[in-house]
Amino acid sequence: MAKTVDQRVKELNDGVTWAIANNWDSAIAKFQKELNAPNFKSLGSMAGLAANFDKAQSTFEQNMQKKDDAKKLFESAAAPLAKMHTQTDGFKKDLDDIVKDAAAARKQIADADNVDDMLKNAEETLKAQEDVNKERKSIFDNWMKVDVNHAKVIADTIAKVKKEVAAAQAALNSSNTQLNSLETQIRALVVKYENTARSMDREDIAAAVRGFLHVFGK
């Protein structure tokens, strides 16, 4: 009977499919001549319903795949994000190198014990710190640009994935509604075929038609 999208997805993922047209042909193979007679044909075309069901199921499966393929968008973002991580690691190293270079370049008077030497040392330390601050600011500015871009790549990827998933889900919902409607129509037509067969005292045809419903697992 009526299935939810999740139920149908689970069944298809478990390998449960319904080749309705082929199953109908197999079920009534012995009675094609009788079922092509006007008294059955006038009730409706089971072959047509079966073909439409198979087509709708194929569309459903295609959109299952489209929804699953949306995860590949995360993979496409991996390379630029990895590049940004490498840049960030480089910034961290640059910050360490700045301090080391500044310490190595700073000229200090050893054992300064008078105010003049101490003042010179302090001025040299101030100059070194100001140079470090300028270089750090440049690095942090560039680092912030990378971080902003990092967030943008993630946000854009999320938006793309959501868009793909929403489109695929809408198509799944539509196909599932169509499949449920077609199954209902097929079951109703089976009842009509059965009743007509019994009115002809052809229980063999009625049984074959009724047996076709096993294709739905019930």
Please name which of 49, 34, 56, 46 lies closest in space to residue 190, comparing C-alpha atoms: 46
pLDDT tier at 40 (50, 70, 90 boundaries)? very high
Say which residue, 108 or 195, is predicted with more confidence: 195
Q: Which of 66-80, 153-167, 204-218 has the lowest mean pLDDT?
A: 204-218
The answer to whether residues 109 and 121 touch, using CB atoms and an 8 Å cutoff, is yes
pLDDT at 78 over 60: yes
Q: What is the pLDDT of residue 218?
A: 56
Please name which of 127, 8, 118, 13 lies closest in space to residue 57, comparing C-alpha atoms: 8
- Across the chain, mean pLDDT equals 91
Residue pLDDT, tens place only, 95-147: 888 888 777 777 777 887 888 888 988 888 888 888 889 999 999 999 999 99
Q: Which of 18-27, 56-65, 184-193 has the lowest mean pLDDT?
A: 18-27
CA distance 183 to 189: 10
Residue 16, sorted as left (phi over 0), alpha (psi -120 to 50) or beta, turns out to be beta
The answer to whether residues 4 and 184 touch, using CB atoms and an 8 Å cutoff, is no
Q: What number of other Cβ atoms are within 10 A of residue 212's Cβ?
A: 21
- Its pTM stands at 0.77
Domain ranges for the chain = 5-70+170-216, 77-165
Q: Which residue has the tokens 């037509």?
A: 189
Residue pLDDT, tens place only, 205-215: 999 999 999 88
pLDDT at 151 over 80: yes
